[in-house]
Structure 1
């Protein structure tokens, strides 16, 4: 740390308890009281350097030889007045980055201008501050840290702004711009050629280039108010948004313990693990989190989704402003395709505790993503222009999101408190075109049905309508065909589409086989008998294809048998229902038949006439219809 020596006399001050004495051989004629400390000094050295002390001594003396004065508002308190007193007596002292700000403020308060002596304390501290401290990163940082102790006075003197501008300029400077790297207190001194220096002599060793995060740890030592101003100054000077985001992430992880419970402290390339920061109260943590959210870059991709998810989880624990939570959800939704399943598994912190995980939060995040995807042109994934598929780049992120949501549904499905409408709303929120296959959705539905065995058949069918049986893979179809938890209607659909896939695959194999045979004959005619190796390899390929087709034929026959058995079972169920109905109506039918028989026996003539008329009706009909007698 750089320093500047003032004065030349030896130290003549001694401390006795809560009092300082100047041992110059002359009796003290003035006592200055600062806080709980008293200084027994002499009038002339003080009034000859300070305008304020001159007026106070004149008012307190009133013709007497000794007096007592008080300085309750001097910046820096008793410690700084001790240095001021030594300066007035010409005693040796050192100006450093740690005391120059407080001394500058104390000198301003005491009016120690050039009017009361050349090279007074104000001018000395200003020279050291401008020519030494503000030219060095470490000293500027240390001076800015001490501004918190005398902030109001330092602000009047514009010291924090000068320190912040110096730090921002150093952080934004390209180390390779002038061929001389920015001085880092953790790195050894280097020559213009880049080699490490030892006692001014080049060692030949090359120092590693500074990464963009070399200042993160130093900046995290600042108070929140000063840190915010530093970040704003860096943004004004053109600092990259991703670097700003990295510093904010470092600062948040240092002072928000909730961010380090599930995720590692270090994140990104070269980021340093933050040390244990000062313990903040819950209210201070809430203020810090809201400020971090306000300072984060709004552009997509500059802040990692994992960090945003950690902020959102911590915000829910601290119960911060709802607008902050909504803003974090929107940020995550903008880049949901970059999230992982762990990022979305946020515990439910509501008082009702209906579900283990906050499904409603994920639903809102998905809605934000879909809204952004529509703005980017993802609402027309199948539009064609000039023979090319338009909007295809947007299919990549939304397909990744569909896979992520299916995985999330499978993770939350075992929760018995998860209501069917919530599950359907989240699963149905993903557009149909976003899922090339519905295997992941089928897995989630199967787990949900297993955890909710009391669902009625209608609820099961309603749930299974979320997936498209035509978009299930052959393996998923095989599993679904044997799944007793699925409704019977869905199983029949699965079997139908499975057979359709198999037949399509077999037809494709036959087509490939025919093409291979034709190609083999053509090549054999062109190449002649000299190319026996190619013929052997083609024969092997045909044999492999034949085995595969035989296996597929066997599978098709097995599936047809299963369908036939299922149809027979359905018919048996129908016949059983008909037989039970017939038993209930048997007596009534029998009584009606008996009564009809008795009526026919008692009135044979009427029956005969009726049958005769019926015959005549048939003959008439035959004449008009066929125009011939039967």
Structure 2
């Protein structure tokens, strides 16, 4: 820390209890009381340096006896008795040091006592002004310490422009990435061409540390919020990068709001870097001060998306509800989270409810509003995005892979959130259903997450009526369920009958498509294997034999897969046939005997089979399922017969060659 020495005489002051005495050998003729401390001094050194002391001594001398000591009381001196002790030493020419800790007090006290050049050359005002401008403002640390002392004398510091000078100095230095230029010690100035530190021309192997743009965060966080706010405002006016300002604001908030540090696990920004959680501050703010700080910080944070982590906004929202912040503050936080909801994690959304009614365990209403904000900022659908899965006419039920967009990421996030809050028995069906329905249909590539959430909700709400269950399950698109989800849903007793029938139907279509694809691959492999075998025998090369063996192994794997698929298709066809017969019996009670096919079509439409399918596909699916299955079975048996004959022929050939 820089300092400036004044005076040349040795210390001539001695303290006794609450009094200071000058030990020059001359009896004191004046007593100056500053607060609870009294100073027994001499008139001439004081009146020769201070206009206020000159007038006070003259007035006291007129009122009192010449033989009595002159008594002067100073009650409003900046810095109190400690500052007056230094002023007394200055008046007597005793050695003292000007530092960043006492410069503001001395400058303000000198102004208060009118210690100008009129009362002596090199008076205290000019000395402190020179040291402040030429030494303190050149250093980051000294400017910071001087600004902190301005809290004790705010009126004088503002009047003398000390506060503004310190803030301007800090703003200039914070905008630089090299703190060594502003009073920080340079540890190792020499560096080898390879980048290692040099000592007497010898490389030590150490590397110089590169200073990041957040080097000043911790120091600035020690300021009171009014000064910190002014510092950020000045930096913003100097066009400092918004990410640097956002980082300093988040650091300051985490330091002074204890509730932000109570995280589960902690994210990447909670461990290191610009958004690291600082050590706890010395003094804890009251709840009212914390609420005011939170609302003010929110107004200072930049609006650009992605500058502040979503976790930080979620933490602020949680603390705002605990501190009972204003509704405008909470609404602003929810809007900020909604703007970058695609960057949130599941644990961020699982917020407990702080309502007095405690209607639900989780704050579902807040998540609903956050989702609405996200949807309002993401209205434009990506080009070429319709239904995430292709129609049955295209022969592709599973859809095509595409990059994860923000909307699909949010859909997956909301489905996970629904599964988390579904076990809450107090969560009403309208809230759960409204949140699930808020996600657009095109956003979900698969409905597996939604199916899992609905299944959990039905499990923990067994008292729901059949109509309510059916209404909730209408959110599911059975065409967008994976094969595993279809298998689970087909055996799920909690689902309504209509949904189970739809699941079985679309699962059957998926299996048919898969079996057809396997036959196509098998035919291609047969043709390729024949070419490999003929080429291998003709050329007599080892590579041809290896290709044939690989093709045989792949063919065997496909055969096993086709056998399992065939058995599953047969089972599903039997189940579907039984259910069709039961439905037809129900239809015969309300229709004529000859209208069976029409009844089946009507019932099928009611069950939802005709959503994206043509009527002739439905008829072929219900009437020709058994015949198609038999044809496929015959085809598979023929393929197996041909393969067995080939195997026997090859075995016979090998035996004859050995003989």
Normalising by structure 2, we get a TM-score of 0.80
Aligned to 1:554: 567
Distance between the aligned counterparts of 2:288 and 2:351, measured in 1?
A: 22
1:381 to partner: Cα distance: 5.4
Matched residue SS, 1:483:
coil
1:158 to partner: Cα distance: 1.2
Aligned to 2:94: 91
Deviations 1:382-431 (A, max 9, x none): 38xxxxxxxx9996111010000000000000001101110011000000
Distance between the aligned counterparts of 1:268 and 1:380, measured in 2?
A: 39
Distance between the aligned counterparts of 2:219 and 2:203, measured in 1?
A: 28
Aligned to 2:364: 359
Distance between the aligned counterparts of 1:5 and 1:123, measured in 2?
A: 14
Matches within 5 A, 1:530-545: 530=541, 531-545=544-558
Matches within 5 A, 1:184-199: 189-191=187-189, 193=191
Deviations 1:68-100 (A, max 9, x none): 222222111111111111111111111111100
The 3 A distance-change label for structure 1 pair 520 and 196 is: closer
1:542 to partner: Cα distance: 2.3
Aligned to 1:622: none
Q: Which moved more, 1:194-203 or 1:33-42?
A: 194-203
Matches within 5 A, 1:425-574: 425-521=434-530, 529=539, 530=541, 531-567=544-580
Matches within 5 A, 1:384-423: 396-423=405-432
Q: Does 1:275 align with 2:286?
A: no
Aligned to 1:166: 169
Asked if structure 1 preserves the Cα contact closer than 8 Å seen for 2:190 and 2:198, the reply is no
Asked if structure 2 preserves the Cα contact closer than 8 Å seen for 1:49 and 1:88, the reply is yes
Asked if structure 2 preserves the Cα contact closer than 8 Å seen for 1:395 and 1:434, the reply is no
Matched residue SS, 1:503:
helix
Matches within 5 A, 1:168-247: 168-175=171-178, 181-182=180-181, 189-191=187-189, 193=191, 205-247=206-248
1:525 to partner: Cα distance: 6.7
Deviations 1:96-149 (A, max 9, x none): 111001111111111111111111111111111111111111111111111111
Distance between the aligned counterparts of 2:166 and 2:521, measured in 1?
A: 76
Matched residue SS, 1:148:
coil
Distance between the aligned counterparts of 2:499 and 2:97, measured in 1?
A: 87
Deviations 1:330-383 (A, max 9, x none): 111111111001100111001111000000000010011111112xx3376538
1:543 to partner: Cα distance: 2.2
Matched residue SS, 2:152:
helix
Aligned to 1:584: none
1:273 to partner: Cα distance: 4.4
Matched residue SS, 1:38:
strand
Matched residue SS, 1:62:
helix
1:523 to partner: Cα distance: 6.1
Distance between the aligned counterparts of 1:416 and 1:315, measured in 2?
A: 27
RMSD value over aligned CA atoms? 2.8
Q: Return the match for 1:115 from 97, 114, 118.
A: 118
Aligned to 1:51: 51
Matched residue SS, 1:149:
coil
Matched residue SS, 2:405:
helix
Matched residue SS, 2:71:
strand
Aligned to 2:30: 30
Asked if structure 2 preserves the Cα contact closer than 8 Å seen for 1:437 and 1:473, the reply is yes
1:294 to partner: Cα distance: 1.2
Aligned to 2:341: 336
Asked if structure 1 preserves the Cα contact closer than 8 Å seen for 2:177 and 2:212, the reply is no
Matched residue SS, 2:338:
helix
Asked if structure 1 preserves the Cα contact closer than 8 Å seen for 2:511 and 2:569, the reply is yes
Q: Which runs of 5+ in 2 are unaligned?
A: 387-400, 592-659
Matches within 5 A, 1:576-591: none
Q: Which moved more, 1:25-34 or 1:428-437?
A: 25-34
Matched residue SS, 1:239:
coil
1:292 to partner: Cα distance: 1.4
Aligned to 1:248: 249
The 3 A distance-change label for structure 1 pair 538 and 521 is: same
Asked if structure 1 preserves the Cα contact closer than 8 Å seen for 2:385 and 2:442, the reply is no
Asked if structure 1 preserves the Cα contact closer than 8 Å seen for 2:250 and 2:275, the reply is no
Q: Does 1:294 align with 2:295?
A: no
Q: Which moved more, 1:209-218 or 1:457-466?
A: 209-218
Matched residue SS, 2:8:
coil
The 3 A distance-change label for structure 1 pair 19 and 405 is: same
Asked if structure 2 preserves the Cα contact closer than 8 Å seen for 1:34 and 1:78, the reply is yes
Number of residue equivalences: 564
Matches within 5 A, 1:605-624: none
Asked if structure 2 preserves the Cα contact closer than 8 Å seen for 1:31 and 1:40, the reply is yes
Matched residue SS, 1:94:
strand
Distance between the aligned counterparts of 2:461 and 2:589, measured in 1?
A: 30
Matched residue SS, 2:385:
coil
The 3 A distance-change label for structure 1 pair 306 and 98 is: same
Aligned to 1:305: 310
Matched residue SS, 2:316:
helix
Q: Which runs of 5+ in 1 are unaligned?
A: 384-391, 579-630
Matched residue SS, 1:79:
helix
